[in-house]
Amino acid sequence: MPLERFSMSMSLLERLSSGLSGSEMDKILTEMEKALSAGLSNPKTAALMGAYIHVIRERQNTVIHRDILLNIAATWIIRGDENPAAINPDIHQQKLETFEALSKGGAHDFFYSLGIEPLMPLFNISAQEFQTLWEYNTTEVRKLHEALRQLSSHRKAGLREQQTPSASK
């Protein structure tokens, strides 16, 4: 496997164990930085930081992360029109869309048929168990995005309160 693909594969496998995709982690870290810039002396800001840490810890128990698994497949499977030594973002996105459609309703069989070695331990569970985890993760990812939206909204509301002198009275 070419170095660029190997590097991306290793990064995705690491993210799989953390339970957060790169974009999810970036969103959390960005919001944590914004909360920090508001100052930890404010109890609301400190509570926000605690909430973000809780979100990260909760996600570490994730067994299957749909988006990361799809990205691993898109990295390992090389199309005929693709340069194996480089990852083309447009082709990668096309593969993600195709793989997402192919995995609907039969994620276990789809991933098993790809034969991606690092994912093979996942197939010690039944197709039904895999599908249950797949659907559970899809719901959990939606909940994560909603929680991040709410935390961001809460942080922004706290900033508005700090900027309004009458809010402290």
Give the mean model confidence (pLDDT) for residues 7-15. 83
For 49-80, b where at least 16 C-beta lie within 10 A, e where not — what string? Answer: bebbeebbeebeebebbbbbbbbbbbbbebee
**Residue 157, exposed/middle/buried by CB under 10 A (0-12, 13-18, 19+)?**
exposed
**CA 55 from centre of chain:** 12
Name the residue ranges covered by the structural domains of the chain.
3-162
Tens of pLDDT, residue by residue over 97-147, are 999 898 887 888 888 888 888 888 888 888 888 888 888 888 888 988 898
**Residue 3, exposed/middle/buried by CB under 10 A (0-12, 13-18, 19+)?**
exposed
User: SS3 letters for 121-148?
Assistant: HHHHCCHHHHHHHHHHHHHHHHHHHHHH
Give the mean model confidence (pLDDT) for residues 14-36. 84
Residue 155: pLDDT over 70: yes
Residue 90 has a pLDDT of 96
Output 91-94 pairs: Cβ under 8 A, ≥24 positions apart: none
pTM (2 d.p.): 0.73
**Residue 113, exposed/middle/buried by CB under 10 A (0-12, 13-18, 19+)?**
exposed
Tens of pLDDT, residue by residue over 45-94, are 778 888 888 888 888 777 678 888 899 999 999 999 999 999 999 999 99
Q: Round to the nearest angstrom and report the end-to-end CA distance of the chain.
A: 63
